Structure 1
Amino acid sequence: MRLQKPTIERFSLCIFVLAFMSVLSLKAQQDAQFTQYMYNGLFFNPAFAGKESGYRFTALHRSQWLNYTGLNGPAPLTQLITASGKVDNLNLGYGLTFVNDNIGATSNQEVNLSLGYHKKLRRGILSLGLSGGLFSSTLKYDQFDFVIDESIIPTAGDETQMNFNVGFGAIYDRGNYYIGLSSRHLNEPGFDFGDGAINNQLRNHSYINFGYRIKTFALWSFEPSFLIKTVSFNNFSYDVGVIATHNNKISGGITFRGEESVSLLLGYSVLSDNSLRIGYAFDLVVSNVVAKAPTSHEFMLTYNLQPLVREYQRAIQRTPRFRF
């Protein structure tokens, strides 16, 4: 569950209260959420940019609370696209993240460029990352259902506002485990949509993610992980789960999102080098069921392109006197 109110009406409620009281500041989570968070670290933490060698691409679609019908539009739909690469001789990585998040009467788009620096530290690797980009928010006024008719807020059309967005992150990876810290929307951009009565500020979001890699017999490996989320350090939520993988090809796991849902994750790698992976996550809501539809679905494609390595074979040069 996102940390905001469990129903889609959270934004209309925010607009309503701010329009008439102008004193309440939003403290709820505004970032998109993903069940397959362990495969999408670049969204949460820019230090993942170029953390692994090669080029990595991810495309994800999430249908949250499928078939939910509320007062202010349909259920949330989210798309995520990421791409990253690495400059090996400079220990630098770069990444691009695009998010499209539709939540009832609101639509948010986010584009970020990330830069990561990776340095060996004792027996592990320390990665530091910075990100910057644009955050665009759109209100669809005709989808709001106000309790009180108020003329200062439009009843039709839509309005879009755009602002800058920055973040940072760090990861320490020892091989068998890693831990990451990150913070998004550091500048907390505001959106008033040209009306001083509306003030929807994008709050700072911080994350702690941890994973432990366990290799066992018969080509099986296990990776328990967790993700802790907080908004301005005023409220907290968490995801915890474990993924089992056989021969780097077939994977399955289970996760739990605090006070909301339990999820089943499946994955399968295709192509001879396992470079293309198909992932699916099924969420079953177990808390506040009345305010939501019971299931969510998440589909993901990842592609890892390893850099070409040219191998040169020395030819033997023969002369009458010697060869080398």
Structure 2
Amino acid sequence: MKKKHIHTVPFVLTIIAIVLCSCEAHAQQDSQYTQYMYNTQTINPAYAGNRGVFGVTGLYRNQWVGLEGAPETFNFSLNTPVGASERVGLGLNFIQDKAGPASESTVTVDFSYTIPVGERTNLSFGLKGGLNAINVDYSILNIFNPNDALQQFDIDNRLSPVVGIGLYLHDIEKWYVGLSVPNFLETTYYDDSTISNASEKATLYAIGGYVFTLNDNTKFKPAVLGKFVDGAPLGLDLSANFLFYDKFTLGAAYRLDAAVSALAGFQVSERLFIGYGYDYGTQELANFNSGSHEIFLRFEIARGNNDRFLTPRFF
């Protein structure tokens, strides 16, 4: 945006970061989750129903704490297998993002179908569909130049469809890999304005992880997530988590050229899991904030006489 002046340096940095990100990827699908491994359905529809139980998850992320206008994200989802064979999975996602003058809401429905491809291996196909609504309230910006072209705007609302696909291949309890494009429809915002344009492009996600059993009470899972967008730098998340006594998880993660993270989780009961993540930025923006916090909740209910809770899966 041209000739825009705002009172505080932190707010300027926030807007710059938001614009740079939104010009490269579809914002509602590119929400950053440190604990993505606990809710893979958000980025890959093929994961819906994959745990074999009815599950409800909630995640709240407060990014760049202390920075005016910093992003906040709330994610709510549910998923379940359908039918006795549990080959069909259904899911529902709601994502609310807010950053500076922009707020974005996305509602999607997920469908997955799983086929056995080995004695211990399953392959799932997934489809995602829904709607995304973005709202930009220019009135909250403090514009010093009375001739600034942004003065002609008040509130901008846009609605666009979401269509995504995914593949998810996994062993019963040892490893997994996946490929997905949560939304492959490219959307251009502000296209009726000569002031600025933001083209949101499809993001390809690749995930993988392996569970090592170190002893009777300890498991170790290294995992990787890659994000690929045409014209943008590679996004790469590397993580390593330990599971103790099927109850406690402790781990660390590194986001390429962005942040280092600490993760912790506790299986409160067979049904309830609580997770926490903290990010410390490795870029210059870290000088203007005190890091990012993330809280995750997962509640699951077994279907019928399902005994999966006796040996909880680490992904």
Smaller-chain TM-score bracket = 0.7 to 0.9
State whether residues 64 and 297 of structure 1, in contact with CA within 8 Å, keep that contact through their aligned partners in structure 2: yes
Residue number among 2, 10, 14 corresponding to 2:16 in the alignment: 10
State whether residues 54 and 80 of structure 2, in contact with CA within 8 Å, keep that contact through their aligned partners in structure 1: yes
What SS does the corresponding residue of 1:235 show, helix, strand or coil? coil
Identity of aligned residues (%): 26
User: In the aligned structure 1, how far is the partner of 2:147 from the partner of 2:160?
Assistant: 27
Q: Which amino acid aligns with 1:267?
A: G
Q: Which moved more, 1:110-119 or 1:152-161?
A: 152-161
> Any idea what the Cα deviations from partners look like across 1:238-294, whole Å, max 9, x if unmatched?
1111111112211111111111211111111113xx210111111112222456413
Per the TM alignment, residue 26 of structure 1 is displaced from its structure 2 partner at its CA by: 2.3
2:309 aligns to what? Answer: none
Quick one: structure 1 residues 290 and 118, their matched pair in 2 at CA, closer, same or farther if it must change by over 3 Å?
closer
1:102 aligns to what? Answer: 98
Quick one: structure 1 residues 150 and 122, their matched pair in 2 at CA, closer, same or farther if it must change by over 3 Å?
farther
Per the TM alignment, residue 59 of structure 1 is displaced from its structure 2 partner at its CA by: 0.3
Residue number among 223, 228, 231 corresponding to 2:229 in the alignment: 231
| Mapped pair 1:42 → 2:41 | yes
TM-score, normalised by the number of residues in structure 1 = 0.82
Trace 1:272-291 onto structure 2 (pairs within 5 A). 274-289=270-285
TM-score, normalised by the number of residues in structure 2 = 0.84
Per the TM alignment, residue 198 of structure 1 is displaced from its structure 2 partner at its CA by: 4.9
What SS does the corresponding residue of 1:35 show, helix, strand or coil? coil
State whether residues 159 and 193 of structure 1, in contact with CA within 8 Å, keep that contact through their aligned partners in structure 2: no
Which structure 1 residue ranges, 5 or more long, are not aligned?
A: 1-5, 15-24, 311-324
User: In the aligned structure 2, how far is the partner of 1:147 from the partner of 1:166?
Assistant: 40
| Mapped pair 1:91 → 2:90 | no
Number of residue pairs the alignment of both structures matches: 289
Quick one: structure 1 residues 37 and 218, their matched pair in 2 at CA, closer, same or farther if it must change by over 3 Å?
same
State whether residues 260 and 279 of structure 2, in contact with CA within 8 Å, keep that contact through their aligned partners in structure 1: yes
Quick one: structure 1 residues 10 and 220, their matched pair in 2 at CA, closer, same or farther if it must change by over 3 Å?
same
> Any idea what the Cα deviations from partners look like across 1:209-231, whole Å, max 9, x if unmatched?
11101122131111110111122
User: In the aligned structure 1, how far is the partner of 2:52 from the partner of 2:19?
Assistant: 46
Deviating beyond 4 angstroms after TM superposition, the runs of 4 or more aligned structure 1 residues are 11-14, 145-152, 193-198
What SS does the corresponding residue of 1:10 show, helix, strand or coil? helix
Flag the structure with larger Rg. Answer: 1
Q: Which amino acid aligns with 1:82?
A: S
Q: Which amino acid aligns with 1:179?
A: V
Residue number among 182, 185, 201 corresponding to 1:184 in the alignment: 182
Quick one: structure 1 residues 210 and 290, their matched pair in 2 at CA, closer, same or farther if it must change by over 3 Å?
closer
User: In the aligned structure 2, how far is the partner of 1:12 from the partner of 1:240?
Assistant: 23
State whether residues 66 and 75 of structure 1, in contact with CA within 8 Å, keep that contact through their aligned partners in structure 2: yes
User: In the aligned structure 2, how far is the partner of 1:183 from the partner of 1:233?
Assistant: 16
> Any idea what the Cα deviations from partners look like across 1:137-178, whole Å, max 9, x if unmatched?
110102335686555434664221111111100011023211
Quick one: structure 1 residues 260 and 199, their matched pair in 2 at CA, closer, same or farther if it must change by over 3 Å?
closer
State whether residues 25 and 203 of structure 2, in contact with CA within 8 Å, keep that contact through their aligned partners in structure 1: no
| Mapped pair 1:220 → 2:218 | yes
User: Aligned Cα RMSD in Å?
Assistant: 2.4
> Any idea what the Cα deviations from partners look like across 1:112-153, whole Å, max 9, x if unmatched?
101000000124100110000001111010233568655543
